[in-house]
Structure 1
């Protein structure tokens, strides 16, 4: 999965790629790429709401569970930024960030250890 996400990220560069993560409490089982509708996609991301709403409707109908979000930091550090923290709701969702130096996986929580919003999550199997 990480290889596929890195390909998606490279294809979108210099814009940030983004999308949804699906799975359960134990694992990420899949992902979906979404359009980045941010006003400055080279510096930030905003998941196309049509993709998000369609995934949430499918989840309610018994489809895959949305457990988080992924995006890229093209040519940069995969650590969540202060901007990421400002955008994140403390809802326990995963945030997978891909950068030129690998990836990071965090959970959005209230009073997190990073920027007051994120706690590290266990690494993914590659």
Structure 2
């Protein structure tokens, strides 16, 4: 959680973004990526090569890609209208960081569903 907050703070006023790695519904690591969107102050796009690399690593025995994260530098910690349009509805977990807060969401057929979470001790 600290790393997500740090990523958002260091990218401000632009949106940070990256990949959530783990198994099932357990996030074990994050992989920060470059925001390649042409308007990174209002939108995010994960570097496609980073996404391909993460999936390749998972096929080679590494952690699975279970979702994505990004920040809303001047917004709320909930899916925006753009997030709703871009969501694949594939069950991925989305972490959204805003105002020093992190919320988790599941992308599904009916849109986003808020997820509760527990931070496990290290």
Q: TM-score, normalised by structure 1?
A: 0.90
Root-mean-square deviation (CA, aligned residues, Å) is 1.2
- The runs of at least 4 consecutive aligned structure 1 residues that moved more than 3 Å come to none
CA displacement at 1:124 relative to structure 2: 3.6
CA displacement at 1:11 relative to structure 2: 0.7
Give the match for residue 60 of structure 2. Answer: 61
Gaps of 5+ in 1: 112-116
Q: Aligned partners of 2:86, 2:9: CA distance in 1, in Å?
A: 23
Q: Secondary structure at the match of 1:20?
A: strand
Alignment of 1:77-116 (within 5 A): 77-111=76-110
Q: Aligned partners of 2:91, 2:25: CA distance in 1, in Å?
A: 14
Q: Aligned partners of 2:19, 2:51: CA distance in 1, in Å?
A: 8
Give the match for residue 119 of structure 1. Answer: 113
Is 1:20–1:33's contact at 8 Å kept on the other side of the alignment? yes
For CA contacts below 8 A with separation 6 or more, give which structure has more relative contact order: 2
CA displacement at 1:76 relative to structure 2: 2.2
Give the match for residue 39 of structure 1. Answer: 38
Q: TM-score, normalised by structure 2?
A: 0.93
Aligned length: 120
Gaps of 5+ in 2: none
CA displacement at 1:104 relative to structure 2: 1.1
Greater CA drift, 89-98 or 99-108:
99-108
Give the match for residue 6 of structure 1. Answer: 5
CA displacement at 1:78 relative to structure 2: 0.7
